Structure 1
Amino acid sequence: MNANTVTGEFTFTDAPAHWADKADKSFSSLHQLSPYIGKLKPNIARELIVTYTQPGQLVVDPFCGSGTVPLEAILTGREVIASDSNPYAFVLTKAKLSPPASLTDALSQLEDVYEKSTGRSDESFISAPDWVRSFFHPDSFRELIKFADECLESRNWFLLSCLLGILHHQRPGFLSYPSSHLVPYLRDKKYPKSEFPEMYEYRALLPRMRAKLTRAFKSSTESPTSSCVVKKSSIEGLILPGMVDAIITSPPYMNALDYRRDNRLRLWILDRSTQDYFTEPTDKAKGLETMVSSLVNHALSSLKPGGIVILVVGETVIRKRTKTHPSRSYIDALLSTGIFRLISAIRDNIPDIRRSRKAGAATKAEHILVFQKIDDQDPSLSNLSQAGAAVAV
Structure 2
Amino acid sequence: MERVKRPAGRAPASRPRPGAKSPRKESDEPARRPPAGPARARPERTAGSRPERTAGSRPERTAGSRPERTAGSRPERPARPPLTLDDDERPRGRDRFLSGPHGVRHRTFDSPSFDDFAFDPYDDATNRPGPERRAFSTWEGPVFTGGERMFEAPLRALFALDADWNRALTHGFHPYAARLPPSLVRQAVATWSKPGHTILDPFCGSGTVLVEAFAQGRKALGSDASPLAVAISETRTTLLSKEERGLLLTVGTRLAEESEDRARRRVKLPAISAWARREHAQFFPHVFLELYGLRALVFAYDGPAAVVRALRLCLSSMLTKFMRTGLTAPRDGQDKRIGRGVPSSFYGRRVQELVRQLGALADAVPPGTTPPVVRQGDARDVRGVRKGSVNLVLTSPPYAGVYDYGAIHASRFAWLGLDPRPLLAKQVGARSHGLGAAPGPWREGRRAWLSQMATALAPGGSALLIVGDGVVAEQPENAQAAIWAEAPAVGLRPVAWASQDRPSHDKRVRDIFGRSPRREHVLFLERA
Which residues of 2 match residues 279-318 of structure 1 at below 5 A?
281-282=428-429, 283-314=437-468, 316-318=469-471
C-alpha offsets along residues 163-207 of structure 1, whole Å, 9 cap, x if unaligned?
2211121xxxxxx34468xx523757741xxxx6x42645453x3
Matched, 1:234 2:378: yes
C-alpha offsets along residues 94-132 of structure 1, whole Å, 9 cap, x if unaligned?
1111143355343035368889999xx957x42225441
- Judged with a 3 Å threshold, the aligned counterparts in structure 2 of structure 1 residues 327 and 30 are, in CA distance, closer, same or farther, namely same
Partner residue in 2 for 1:87 = 227
Answer whether contact 2:227 2:418 (CA < 8 A) is retained. Answer: no
Partner residue in 1 for 2:203 = 63
2:403 to 257, 270, 277: 257
1:348 to 471, 488, 500: 500
Structure 2 counterpart of 1:28, which letter?
Answer: A
Larger Rg: 2
Q: CA deviation at 1:90?
A: 0.9
Matched, 1:126 2:273: yes
Secondary structure of the residue aligned to 1:134 is helix
Distance 1:358 1:32 in 2: 30
Structure 2 counterpart of 1:16, which letter?
Answer: R
- Judged with a 3 Å threshold, the aligned counterparts in structure 2 of structure 1 residues 152 and 371 are, in CA distance, closer, same or farther, namely farther
Secondary structure of the residue aligned to 2:353 is helix
1:328 to 478, 481, 484: 481
Matched, 1:208 2:353: no
Secondary structure of the residue aligned to 2:349 is helix
Secondary structure of the residue aligned to 2:175 is coil
Q: Give the TM-score normalised by structure 1.
A: 0.74
More strand by share: 1
Which residues of 2 match residues 1-393 of structure 1 at below 5 A?
4=144, 16=156, 19-24=159-164, 28-102=168-242, 103-110=245-252, 122=270, 125-136=272-283, 137-147=287-297, 149-150=299-300, 154=305, 156-169=308-321, 176-178=322-324, 184-185=328-329, 190-191=334-335, 198-199=337-338, 201=340, 203-205=342-344, 207-218=345-356, 220-222=360-362, 224=365, 225-239=369-383, 240-242=385-387, 243-271=389-417, 281-282=428-429, 283-314=437-468, 316-318=469-471, 321-337=474-490, 339-350=491-502, 364-374=518-528
Structure 1 counterpart of 2:338, which letter?
Answer: M
Distance 1:162 1:36 in 2: 13
Answer whether contact 1:3 1:13 (CA < 8 A) is retained. Answer: no
Unaligned stretches of 5+ residues in structure 1: 170-175, 375-393
Q: Give the TM-score normalised by structure 2.
A: 0.57
Structure 1 counterpart of 2:386, which letter?
Answer: P
Distance 2:404 2:171 in 1: 21
Distance 2:439 2:472 in 1: 13
Secondary structure of the residue aligned to 2:159 is helix
Q: CA deviation at 1:349?
A: 3.5
Secondary structure of the residue aligned to 2:351 is helix
Distance 1:29 1:351 in 2: 30
RMSD (CA atoms) = 3.9
Identity of aligned residues (%): 20
Answer whether contact 1:317 1:323 (CA < 8 A) is retained. Answer: yes
Question: What count of residue pairs does the alignment treat as equivalent?
Answer: 348
Unaligned stretches of 5+ residues in structure 2: 1-140, 263-268, 430-436
| Higher mean C-alpha displacement, 126-135 vs 153-162 | 153-162
